Amino acid sequence: MSQFILHKENTRGHANHGWLNAHHSFSFANYYNPERMHFGVLRVLNDDLIDGGMGFGTHPHDNMEIITIPLAGAIAHKDSMGNSAVIKSGEIQVMSAGTGVSHSEFNALADEQLNLLQIWLFPNKKNVTPRYDQQTLNVEAMHNNFQQVLSPSADDAGVWIHQDAWFSLGKFDDGFETEYKIKKAGNGVYAFVINGEVTINGQTLSKRDGLGIWDTDSFSFKANTADAQVLLMDIPMELS
């Protein structure tokens, strides 16, 4: 019997720092909710709006798989591994923090707001050598399709991380229906609605709602609006 947990958009943690307007699906920084600590290995799902030219100065990370997906605008990234890059909407960035890495993230544009999703997963192996990657997404392949953008394998589609996780992005026409099959036994899926309205296993979800599903090997999906856009995170439910 499949199980689920619904996180409505307006139940997320919220912090408005002026230059940064952040919504947290799980406990983060000063937002602490003991019932929102993680979903499986998914520990952080932040939906950040960052003013032009503003951002996060150099700060450290360790033992986290950090995935950044810009929804609008562009991020300027610099890190202690020597990487310096701009990641635009339509691209994905991944950083395995491992033994430790420092980086800065700023809105690359002075006069345009940046909207990004930042996702942190617990790794399946601690203290790995830090690594960085970014890729351009195949946006056309996302039309009425859950296009894989992340996996555990360097030989598979999208970026790869140190976790048995698969991420997919899709943009759907109104009325489009499909079934999603979970990639690995024991995994669950956290679905995050970027835009529009969808129905997943009978649960209607609106923009920025999240739905966690587990104890199943598949679920039904239907788009209810013409602009439906969804991120699926297929992840282990057990912390290793």
Partner 1 sequence: MQTTILYIGRDTEITIVMNRLLNARTEWKGFCVCTDEEAISILKTQDVDLVLLGNGITPECENALRNDINALKPGIKVAQHYGGGSGLLYGEIMSALN
By CB under 8 A, the residues from 116 to 175 that bind partner 1 are: 120, 122, 127
As a whole number of angstroms, the distance between CA 117 and CA 46 comes to 6
As a whole number of angstroms, the distance between CA 93 and CA 95 comes to 7
Residues contacting 174, CB < 8 A, separation 6+: 223, 224, 225, 226, 228
Does residue 29 come out as left (phi exceeding 0), alpha (psi in the -120 to 50 range) or beta?
A: left
Site pattern 69..98 for partner 1 (x: CB under 8 A):
----------------------------x-
In eight-state DSSP terms, residue 151 is E
Q: Which amino acid is at 165?
A: A
With CB under 8 A as the contact rule, the residue among 42, 50, 64, 231 that binds partner 1 is 64
Q: How many chain residues interact with partner 1 (CB under 8 A)?
A: 22
Query: Rule CB under 8 A: is residue 18 a binding residue for partner 1?
Result: no
CB of 64 to partner 1, least distance (A): 5
Residues contacting 83, CB < 8 A, separation 6+: 77, 132
Query: Rule CB under 8 A: is residue 235 a binding residue for partner 1?
Result: no
Query: Rule CB under 8 A: is residue 39 a binding residue for partner 1?
Result: no
With CB under 8 A as the contact rule, the residue among 11, 89, 102, 225 that binds partner 1 is 102
Q: Could you list the residues that contact partner 1 (CB under 8 A)? A: 27-30, 32, 34, 37, 43-44, 59-64, 97, 99-100, 102, 120, 122, 127
